[in-house]
Amino acid sequence: MSGAARPSPDRSAPFAAFELERRFATTLLVSVIVLLAAACTPTVSTTSPPRPSDASVPASTAAAASATVAVTADPCAATRRLVIALERADTRMRAIAAATDLSETKAAAKEVDSVLRAILPGDSDGPPTGALVDVVKAGRSDGQELDEVALGGLASWADPRVRWAEWRQVLSEWRPVRNTMPRLASHLLRALGWAQLVMDAGDLRAARELASVHGQLHTRLSLDAARAHADSTRCG
């Protein structure tokens, strides 16, 4: 029996559908694995841990550390500065003795006063500090003469206010006929006292005598002690 050929059934359709399902399932599985891996991986921070700021360090600690570094880095520098300052004070005290005008004596005495106050421990609470104290402490084994001559013994400055109160008392009790300065163990305090008396002097002759007979003796003794200290510590 003849007639038109019947189309054969398309057997590839089921396989195509199966292939699409297989690819979808594979893609879904890979995605799940990636998500699980990401969830289990610890997060590593790329940000550096914060460093403590300067504000977190107490100011007193920072200042003390700075001072320690300054002294230990070059202990001779402080000694040289001290010698230079005392040379200046001694030179200006000698200028008073050679002055030809009362205003010259007062200007020189004021400079001596400023230089010595910058060297000596301050009139304040707490342990003694200052250029002279730093040098004495840095070279403790070699600074005995400097300590005794210039400071009158560092131990006596445990409370600087007491030393300055004593200085003011000695100065107030001084009279031309009653020299109270020897009561001060520190030659620099004595020199400072003579400089103060020069500033208060009413005539040129008296001002010159205060400096030539008394003041320059104590600036020179302190300067010689500082130079000997510099030599003994090889800082000269």
Q: What pLDDT digit, counting tens, does each position of 206-227 carry?
A: 999 999 999 999 999 999 999 9
What integer is the mean pLDDT of 120-146? 85
What span, in angstroms and rounded, lies between the C-alpha atoms of 135 and 84?
Answer: 13
Cβ neighbours of residue 113 closer than 8 Å, sequence gap 6 or more: 192, 195, 196, 199
Overall average pLDDT of the 112-134 stretch:
94
Residue 217: inside a domain: yes
Is 108 within the bounds of a domain?
yes
Reading the block at residue 82, the tokens are: 């001290």
15 domain residue, yes or no: no
Distance CA 201, CA 214 (A): 14
Tell me whether residue 52 is in a domain. Answer: no
CA distances from 57 to 52, 54, 65, 71, 111 (A): 8, 5, 11, 21, 38
Q: What is the pLDDT of residues 23-61, one digit of tens each?
A: 555 555 545 444 444 444 444 444 444 443 433 334 443
Residue 206 placed within a domain:
yes
- Expressed as residue numbers, the domain containing 104 is 74-232
Average pLDDT, the chain: 79
- Asked, for residue 137, whether it belongs to a domain, the answer is yes
Structural domain includes residue 79: yes
Contacts of residue 66, Cβ cutoff 8 Å, sequence gap at least 6? none
How many distinct structural domains can be found in the chain? 1
Q: Is there a domain that residue 82 lies in?
A: yes
In the Cβ-directed half-sphere of 14, how many Cα atoms lie within 13 Å? 3
Residue 80 has pLDDT above 50, yes or no: yes
- Note the pLDDT of residue 27: 54
Minimal CA–CA distance to 109: which of 200, 46, 230? Answer: 200
